[in-house]
Structure 1
Amino acid sequence: MSRRGRTPLGLSGGALLAALTALLLLLTGCTGLPRDSEVEPRLTVDNADQRPAIVVEPEPPGVDAGPEEIAAGFIRAHNGVPEGFATARQYLAGTALDGWSPDQGILLLSSSNLSARRIAGGRVVVTAVAEAQVDPEGHVTQLPTEERRTLQLGVSQVAGGAWRVTSVPDDLGLWLSVADFERLYQPKRVYFASQNGPKVLLPDVRWFPEAGMTTALARAVIGAPPTWLTGVVRNRLPAGTRLQPNAVPVSATDRTATVTLSREALGASPLDREALWAAMLQTLSQAPGVSRVQLMVGSARLEAPGMGPDSSVEDLDYSVVPAPSGPVIVRKDAKLVWNNNDNDSRRPAPTPTDREPLPTIPSQWYQLAGDSRGREIAAIAGDRKTLGRWIAGKLTSRPSFGTQLVRPAYDGQNDLWVAGQALTAAGPGQSGGRPAAENPTTGPPTIWVIDTRQPVQQAQPQPVTAPWLGQRDVVALAVSPESARLALVVRDRSTRRTSLLLSGIVRDSSGEVDSLGTPVVVNPAISDLSSVTWADETTLGVLGRMPSSPERVEPIMVPLSGLAQPLGPAPGATAVVGSSIPQDRVFVVTDRGTVLAREGRSWEVFDQGDDVVAPAP
């Protein structure tokens, strides 16, 4: 969420509030959003985030404040996250004191401007403009458009004649301005271990307040993963497993975070213990002051295969797959050349010594993709009915299996992905379809995968089970760096509206693609989507329109949990392509024979060319 600056606050909390919070957390077991500040015993403070702190103290109730001022003041005091909402509670009385639970999610406001209006029945209506919302686990979702939201609060005079908020809606959490939220919360990656296929850790970005960060991260690891990752990550800890005690102390001497679990954890299988250790090590490495992790049950260490006293994620054979790194391939008419951003774009770069010579691609083929070392190039024919593969410079084209084929994508597991409309009336995972020539309707939306390890003549496109596609055509797709997630742009055949989806790639015990999990919508605020790529493991790049500038299609950075960042006009943009060059997160392909890269606040020509390919991881 780089659109606005974000700085941390110094954090504190009263002992009584902390004690009450610890009890509440123990009963509820929630993850991302705060109840009140937590105290973490022996917390190291000398290695905390050293960015300059901006402290904004919430205002307590005025002595002579009227009902409207009290209602608006209560909402504004929601920024008292570091103090455990002590000031906000000063505005409450009666049932509101016990009825308000700030952990029920956050409504993010475009500004701190509020209006308050008193109505009949001892109530005040508070109105503000909302831009996004945060669920109780800490996931941020931008709203389709900015919305005017209203909130009714009950107000009464209490002892001494002072006005107080005496009733609140049951589902009221926090109302915070985006600026306050980015100042008070930080995005962190909660990792989950893959279930099948390569042993990788998948990140789920959630926002946490700095208070109690280590405890909140540990609780998130043992909690449930997002539902869209069902079947993709391991989630087999025995029921009832929890933190016990409900706090993670960090030693000030050796910076070790000690995570103690309840006895239910002893029922976990060796593989699940190993996965838990790997996820906990990687996740807690982000917490300030933590350099080592101990996972305990009672006073004994939770044993797992291969775990020594100072084992790392790599010792457990797990990895966090980084984005591709290395040169990219630029198409110049029929010729493909390597470009590592360290050469004169007027002449081809020499073929890197660890890369394959590149083939010539005839002009009737476009929408290129490449495997990890350029050994294989794929492209779509101009009629969008044929997929071609160049292996060792030789073209092999598949007999037509679909129409409206989109740019293909290689993953890191020797699979080639493509989508389009099937030639039969049967959709993914179905059978008995009629040929398209006999079927007057458009073929069903379908996603295929090809195993590139098979001999090229035998490698058949296999439909991937994805019944949730329904009547939505795939416009673009992109596989994540670790090959476990698929980003898609889809277009509804009835409404013509586009959506950005994220689905988990479910693999069987041998690592083969089995199906695609029910997806989650990523940032519904973006419309007219036409292209998608991975900028890094937690950020997508797209072409689309933002509500703030509906007159133009532009490249947009889309965090999987956060607010979209428009990157400004890129004249002639036709596609965004992920980069394997570290300093260039995405490229833009234009219809003007140029490939653009972001420099500062503008797009500059990276190279002359008709397309660009970032080889798969």
Structure 2
Amino acid sequence: MTPGRTRARWTLALLLPLTLTGCAGLAATGTVHAEQPISNAAVPHVDVQPIGPYDGESAEDVVTGFLVAGASLDDDYGVARQFLTSTASAKWQSAEGAVITTSDSDFKVTQQGSGRVRVSAAEQAVLDTTGHITAREPNSRIDASFGVTRVGGQWRISSLPAGFRPWISNVNFSQVYTPQRIYYPSATSRVLVPDVQWYPAAGLATAVARAVLAAPPTWLQGALRTPNQSHIGLAINAVPVDPNTGVASIDLTASAQRADGTVRTALWAAMTASLTGVNSTVMVVPSVTRVELTAGGNRVAAPHLPAQPATAADLGYAVAGSPSAALITRNGSVLSWQGSGPAGPLRDSGESGENTVRLPAISSKYYDLGADTSGDAIAALSIDRASLGVWVKRSFHVVPTFAGNLTRPTFTGSTALVAGISGTPRRGAAPSGGGVWAVDTAAGSRVTARQLSVPWLGRSVVLALKVSAEGARVAMVVRDGQGRTSVQVAGLLRDTRGFPIGIGTPVTMPVALASYADVAWLDDVTLGVLGATTPEKGHTQGADEIALVPLSGQPDMFSAPLGVQSVVSGGSGTDDIYVLDHRGSVWTRQGAGWARIPGADDLAAPGT
């Protein structure tokens, strides 16, 4: 590699400020074990300007220059194409997506004969064509072989690997791409559910509008309503934003006017919530204050449509968020309301008027609490995990036995979801398989458990599950027939009355731990996963690590107190984390470590 290309490469890197952290404040509050992660927050856009080829470069330098130039998307990778022969450039269809590497400076470049150059790099993640990031396992590498030839005495790339996607370092990626919440309407309620997708700052409003019209991730299908069910698209592939008013003008195909009124209202709400998230943190993009939907030159009509809707609420929709601002702690048989959030340790909220529902006394025969948002319904497991008790407005009822090895209950509305193993341990009956059950606590003394349809589970068992605050998604720890655990997310399927009836086909989240014990929703798009760093610790000592896992992004890690078994979050962010150990102690993050919460031996986050 020539000195000139080395200097050019490092010049590019130094132009880009190193602003990346995995989650705000993490480095100050815990030990980070992952590689430098991709930022999961929008950062100010920086126009990356790589250098094109110059005379006298070696074949290795030309290939390296091409890969570095992949950080600039301008003119359809115009600078990168300067390193290609005209034939190779014409054949390269630069599809959306990218390979995200840890750095531009650690490429291992070797020449294979006179016509091939091979490059190896540390692969951190992959951006797919739908805007989703999938993290790779630690120490992963990507290898690619490029054909090279001389053109006019200078080396150029004559052939690319099949399906080649541009490579971009994690630092440059976070300067060029920005994460956006794309909202989709729930299939059974007037709630918008977020999905995080990454797009370049250039053309961002257009990309976001296209994403709203596209199908949601496959793991959410069935739980969400999507406009593409009515074959609605963009009439022109551009969404201009007025720099003075902030109004985004979205011209749709004529099918938008023919869609059902509920679909049109949902489309207005989803576009409004998604596009108003395009803001001035991306400095080259004007902030969007509201949207205007047209089709065939006319405004898209919808029932009760305001003249200038600025929020989803103006259209009768709520945006998914945190379930509540309080937790419930237990001390012996006494339950108490406590404040939650990242500001510090739990605080008593009972005297401030924040929570007025009186909580029941809990028998020592029951533990592992769950609660609905109001606190009117409490659920807990018996000591042998074979029975579920519910307290509805302080009246106690036992759910008729339906399974064993039950999981901590999680709530959506007044319904508690519990996983377990069919076939109770009585009379030595053999388990018949794992399952998930829904318990409608509103039934009071007639409360029963109804099994959900989970055909994909097979011989696997759900060890833990948590419903997201809006009730459309479920996060799970699943153990397969070989004893391997994984973290999976799926859509929660409901009937026309809104009652849970099934869990859709899940997707496995990439978390680099040896085993997993529990999971919680830290906010609307981030999971907290409790697990062990080695199989030995998982089997003998319990969990010792927490992973912060964005639905689209790279996980971050920090240490947990050794031997903890459960993780709970009030849902207000990545610092709002509590863990419980087998001794009945509750711990909260404090400074660089953990502090035990006095007078608490169990904890529930109402509404999750």
Q: CA deviation at 1:350?
A: 3.8
Find the counterpart in structure 2 of residue 110 from structure 1.
102
Find the counterpart in structure 2 of residue 329 from structure 1.
328
> How far apart, in 1, do the equivalents of 2:421 and 2:43 lie?
51
Q: Which runs of 5+ in 1 are unaligned?
A: 7-48, 425-434
Q: CA deviation at 1:509?
A: 1.8
Given that 1:214 and 1:284 are in contact with CA atoms closer than 8 Å, whether structure 2 keeps it comes out as yes
Q: Which amino acid counterpart does residue 467 of structure 1 have in structure 2?
A: P
**What are the Cα deviations for residues 5-43 of structure 1, in whole angstroms up to 9, with x where unaligned?**
99xxxxxxxxxxxxxxxxxxxxxxxxxxxxxxxxxxxxx
> How far apart, in 1, do the equivalents of 2:591 and 2:207 lie?
36
2:84 paired with 1:92: yes
Find the counterpart in structure 2 of residue 25 from structure 1.
none
Find the counterpart in structure 2 of residue 14 from structure 1.
none
Given that 1:417 and 1:450 are in contact with CA atoms closer than 8 Å, whether structure 2 keeps it comes out as yes
> How far apart, in 2, do the equivalents of 1:351 and 1:502 lie?
38
Find the counterpart in structure 1 of residue 492 from structure 2.
505
User: Match of 2:553, SS?
Assistant: coil
Q: CA deviation at 1:125?
A: 0.9
Find the counterpart in structure 2 of residue 190 from structure 1.
182
> How far apart, in 2, do the equivalents of 1:82 and 1:605 lie?
53
2:451 paired with 1:459: no
2:269 paired with 1:290: no
Change (3 A) 1:450 1:114: same
> How far apart, in 2, do the equivalents of 1:184 and 1:475 lie?
39
Q: Please, which moves more after superposition, 393-402 or 589-598?
A: 589-598
2:577 paired with 1:586: yes
Q: CA deviation at 1:583?
A: 8.9
Q: Which amino acid counterpart does residue 437 of structure 2 have in structure 1?
A: W
Q: Which amino acid counterpart does residue 326 of structure 2 have in structure 1?
A: P
2:250 paired with 1:259: yes
Given that 2:385 and 2:405 are in contact with CA atoms closer than 8 Å, whether structure 1 keeps it comes out as yes
Find the counterpart in structure 2 of residue 405 from structure 1.
406
2:454 paired with 1:416: no
Change (3 A) 1:391 1:245: closer
Given that 1:2 and 1:565 are in contact with CA atoms closer than 8 Å, whether structure 2 keeps it comes out as no
Find the counterpart in structure 1 of residue 149 from structure 2.
156
Find the counterpart in structure 2 of residue 515 from structure 1.
502
Q: CA deviation at 1:504?
A: 0.6
> How far apart, in 2, do the equivalents of 1:154 and 1:125 lie?
9
User: Match of 1:278, SS?
Assistant: helix
Q: 2:467 aligns with which of 468, 475, 479?
A: 479
Q: Please, which moves more after superposition, 464-473 or 76-85?
A: 76-85
Alignment map for 1:344-363 (pairs within 5 Å): 350=350, 353=353, 354-363=355-364
Q: 1:539 aligns with which of 516, 523, 526?
A: 526
Find the counterpart in structure 1 of residue 17 from structure 2.
none
Given that 2:567 and 2:579 are in contact with CA atoms closer than 8 Å, whether structure 1 keeps it comes out as yes
Q: CA deviation at 1:144?
A: 3.4
Change (3 A) 1:393 1:273: closer
Find the counterpart in structure 2 of residue 447 from structure 1.
436
Q: 2:554 aligns with which of 563, 578, 586?
A: 563
Q: Which amino acid counterpart does residue 382 of structure 2 have in structure 1?
A: A
Q: CA deviation at 1:55?
A: 5.0
Q: 1:3 aligns with which of 14, 22, 26?
A: 22
> How far apart, in 1, do the equivalents of 2:275 and 2:427 lie?
57
Q: CA deviation at 1:84?
A: 4.3
Q: CA deviation at 1:482?
A: 0.3
Q: What's the TM-score once normalised by structure 1's chain length?
A: 0.84
2:133 paired with 1:140: yes
User: Match of 2:560, SS?
Assistant: coil
User: Match of 1:372, SS?
Assistant: coil
> How far apart, in 2, do the equivalents of 1:364 and 1:230 lie?
40
Given that 2:494 and 2:502 are in contact with CA atoms closer than 8 Å, whether structure 1 keeps it comes out as yes
Q: Which runs of 5+ in 2 are unaligned?
A: 1-19, 26-40, 280-286
User: Match of 1:406, SS?
Assistant: coil
User: Match of 1:287, SS?
Assistant: coil
Q: CA deviation at 1:521?
A: 1.2
User: Match of 1:457, SS?
Assistant: helix
Given that 1:588 and 1:595 are in contact with CA atoms closer than 8 Å, whether structure 2 keeps it comes out as yes
Find the counterpart in structure 1 of residue 7 from structure 2.
none
Q: Please, which moves more after superposition, 552-561 or 460-469?
A: 552-561
Q: Please, which moves more after superposition, 302-311 or 277-286?
A: 302-311
Change (3 A) 1:189 1:95: same
Find the counterpart in structure 1 of residue 377 from structure 2.
376
> How far apart, in 2, do the equivalents of 1:345 and 1:137 lie?
40
Change (3 A) 1:347 1:333: farther
Find the counterpart in structure 1 of residue 317 from structure 2.
318
> How far apart, in 1, do the equivalents of 2:340 and 2:83 lie?
58
CA RMSD between the two structures: 2.9
Find the counterpart in structure 2 of residue 38 from structure 1.
none
Change (3 A) 1:144 1:468: farther
User: Match of 2:302, SS?
Assistant: coil
Q: CA deviation at 1:67?
A: 0.9
User: Match of 2:139, SS?
Assistant: strand
Find the counterpart in structure 1 of residue 480 from structure 2.
492
Q: Which amino acid counterpart does residue 132 of structure 2 have in structure 1?
A: H
Find the counterpart in structure 1 of residue 161 from structure 2.
169
In the comparison of the two structures, how many residue pairs are matched?
558
Q: What's the TM-score once normalised by structure 2's chain length?
A: 0.85
Q: CA deviation at 1:573?
A: 2.2
User: Match of 2:174, SS?
Assistant: helix
Q: Which amino acid counterpart does residue 459 of structure 1 have in structure 2?
A: V
Q: CA deviation at 1:545?
A: 4.1
Alignment map for 1:170-249 (pairs within 5 Å): 170-196=162-188, 198-237=189-228, 241-249=232-240
Change (3 A) 1:534 1:163: same
**What are the Cα deviations for residues 402-457 of structure 1, in whole angstroms up to 9, with x where unaligned?**
11101011112x21100000128xxxxxxxxxx985864x3210000011221x23
Q: Please, which moves more after superposition, 355-364 or 505-514?
A: 355-364
Q: CA deviation at 1:240?
A: 5.4
Q: Which amino acid counterpart does residue 290 of structure 1 have in structure 2?
A: V
Given that 2:340 and 2:346 are in contact with CA atoms closer than 8 Å, whether structure 1 keeps it comes out as no
Change (3 A) 1:183 1:582: closer
Q: CA deviation at 1:602?
A: 3.0
Given that 2:324 and 2:373 are in contact with CA atoms closer than 8 Å, whether structure 1 keeps it comes out as no
> How far apart, in 2, do the equivalents of 1:258 and 1:212 lie?
13
Q: CA deviation at 1:512?
A: 1.9
Q: 2:119 aligns with which of 117, 121, 126?
A: 126
Given that 1:367 and 1:379 are in contact with CA atoms closer than 8 Å, whether structure 2 keeps it comes out as yes
> How far apart, in 1, do the equivalents of 2:348 and 2:143 lie?
60
> How far apart, in 2, do the equivalents of 1:51 and 1:346 lie?
32
> How far apart, in 2, do the equivalents of 1:341 and 1:386 lie?
29
> How far apart, in 2, do the equivalents of 1:541 and 1:5 lie?
15
Given that 1:99 and 1:170 are in contact with CA atoms closer than 8 Å, whether structure 2 keeps it comes out as no
Find the counterpart in structure 1 of residue 14 from structure 2.
none
User: Match of 2:70, SS?
Assistant: helix
> How far apart, in 2, do the equivalents of 1:238 and 1:390 lie?
42
> How far apart, in 2, do the equivalents of 1:530 and 1:588 lie?
11
> How far apart, in 1, do the equivalents of 2:334 and 2:67 lie?
61
User: Match of 2:446, SS?
Assistant: coil
Q: Identity over the aligned pairs, expressed in percent?
A: 35
Q: CA deviation at 1:184?
A: 1.8
> How far apart, in 2, do the equivalents of 1:374 and 1:316 lie?
29
Q: CA deviation at 1:280?
A: 0.5
**What are the Cα deviations for residues 478-537 of structure 1, in whole angstroms up to 9, with x where unaligned?**
00010111111101122x111111111111222122221111112243431101111111
